[in-house]
């Protein structure tokens, strides 16, 4: 049997080599909007110089992989990620896909989901922005509530891309109702719920809704660690474990980043709260080491594994 593979900015690795992983962080973000988004708005070397200590800090603490969730038009920059990977040894995973307004280019409103997917599949086949760096997942975003037509198009394009490439889809979702709508649309396109990550799930305060979404079999990402209160995330995590969903949980900070437009990139938030504070808290509440290992190592390896076998003939 072939080993599960994961695509990093330095090429494919065995999923078994992913190690301790932060599944949702950012190195660089530009909130200027799709109209103005450009690598001319920042200095790559300054970004790398500024963010390198933050990456070295977690590498020294045992983090081996970093999923960078900045999509195109929000300063996804694979040259920055590759430079940081070369300098620190961190395994970075980047993405294809698109976010939501105002981070969608005009063209996205005019073309079909199929045409949009073809652009993203081309990034998988040929590389991103003139490099040979390939995406390791598909990043998308929706607003809370039912999906607007453009969001339906973006999610449909993600479904087509996932089936053509085997890549997992992550959607900035925040709300349980929106998550159910995304899952329904993905099921129409025969995408396995296990290929979908409910990003910012901790922002849904109704646990019954979280449980309803979790029962579908998708990934539940609690990615506000260090930003939301530890007590609120821990309470949700304990409920998910109680309900038998340990194999679906992802933990991350949604931290960083060099912020384009702010002097010297602003004040990045470090990626350390999980290891330094939240994991000890989990231990205090009786969560054992095998469970912690499963959540921080095993789950990301399964979540981001490329399932080409599964999709090639579909």
**What's the gap between Cα 164 and its chain centre?**
19
Among 37, 254, 307, 311, binds Zn ion (CB under 5 A): 254
Choose one: 62-70, 160-168, 184-192, 272-280; the region binding Zn ion (CB under 5 A): 62-70
Residue 269 or 294 with smaller CB distance to Zn ion: 269
**Pair type for strands 5-8 and 11-14:** antiparallel
Residue of 9, 28, 63, 69 that binds Zn ion (CB under 5 A): 69
Q: Token digits for 129? A: 């922005």
Cα–Cα distances (Å) from 186 to 91, 192, 196, in that order, read 29, 8, 9
Q: How many residues bind Zn ion (CB under 5 A)?
A: 2
Point out which span in 46-54, 87-95, 135-143, 249-257 binds Zn ion (CB under 5 A).
249-257
Q: Which one of 64-72, 87-95, 123-131, 241-249 is the stretch in contact with Zn ion (CB under 5 A)?
A: 64-72
CB 150 within 8 A of CB 120: no
Looking at the Cβ atoms of 71 and 298, the one nearer to Zn ion is 71
Nearer to Zn ion, 123 or 223 (CB): 223
Among candidate residues 251, 240, 250, 253, the one with its CA nearest the CA of residue 303: 250
Would you say 156 or 252 has its CB closer to Zn ion?
252
Minimum CB separation from Zn ion for residue 139, in Å? Answer: 9
Give all strands of the β-sheet with 196-199 in edge-to-edge order. 95-96, 137-141, 169-172, 196-199, 219-222, 249-251
Q: Smallest distance, Å, CB 308 to Zn ion?
A: 27
Is the peptide bond prior to 286 cis by the omega test (within 30 degrees of 0)?
A: no
Dihedral sign computed on CA atoms, order 141, 143, 145, 150:
negative
Question: Using an 8 Å Cβ cutoff, are 232 and 209 in contact?
Answer: no
* Shortest CB 33 distance to Zn ion, Å: 17
**Smallest separation, CB 155 to Zn ion (Å):** 18
Min CB(125)–Zn ion separation in Å: 26
Q: Which is nearer to Zn ion, 252 or 296 (CB)?
A: 252
Nearer to Zn ion, 97 or 166 (CB): 97
Binding of Zn ion at residue 30 (CB under 5 A)?
A: no
The DSSP call for residue 268 is P
The Cα angle at residue 106 between residues 104 and 111, in degrees rounded to 5: 95
Tell me which residues touch Zn ion (CB under 5 A): 69, 254
């Amino acid at each position: 049997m072939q080993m599960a593979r994961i695509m990093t900015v330095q090429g494919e690795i065995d999923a078994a080599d992913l190690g301790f992983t932060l599944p949702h962080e950012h190195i660089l973000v530009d909130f200027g909007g799709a109209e103005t988004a450009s690598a001319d708005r920042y200095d790559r070397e300054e970004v790398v110089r500024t963010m390198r200590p933050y990456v070295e800090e977690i590498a020294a603490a045992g983090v081996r992989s970093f999923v960078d969730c900045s999509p195109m038009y929000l300063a996804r920059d694979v040259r920055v990620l590759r430079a940081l990977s070369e300098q620190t040894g961190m395994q970075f995973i980047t993405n294809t896909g698109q976010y939501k307004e105002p981070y969608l280019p005009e063209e996205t409103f005019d073309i079909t989901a199929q045409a949009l997917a073809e652009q993203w599949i081309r990034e998988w086949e040929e590389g991103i922005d003139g490099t040979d760096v390939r995406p390791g997942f598909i990043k998308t975003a929706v607003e809370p509530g039912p999906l607007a037509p453009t969001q339906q198009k973006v999610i449909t394009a993600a479904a087509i891309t996932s089936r053509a490439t085997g890549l997992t889809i992550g959607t900035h979702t925040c709300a349980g109702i929106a998550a159910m709508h995304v899952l329904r649309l993905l099921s129409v396109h025969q995408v396995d719920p296990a290929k979908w990550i409910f990003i910012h799930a901790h922002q849904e305060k109704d646990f019954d809704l979280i449980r309803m979404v979790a029962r579908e079999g998708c990934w539940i990402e609690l990615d506000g660690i260090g930003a939301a209160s530890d007590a609120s995330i821990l309470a949700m995590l304990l409920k998910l474990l109680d309900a038998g969903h340990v194999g679906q949980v992802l933990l991350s900070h949604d931290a960083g980043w060099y912020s384009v437009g702010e002097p010297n990139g602003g004040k990045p938030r470090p990626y350390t709260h999980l290891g330094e504070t939240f994991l000890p808290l989990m231990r205090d509440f009786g969560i054992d080491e095998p469970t912690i290992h499963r959540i921080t190592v095993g789950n990301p390896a399964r979540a981001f594994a490329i399932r080409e076998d599964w999709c090639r003939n579909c």
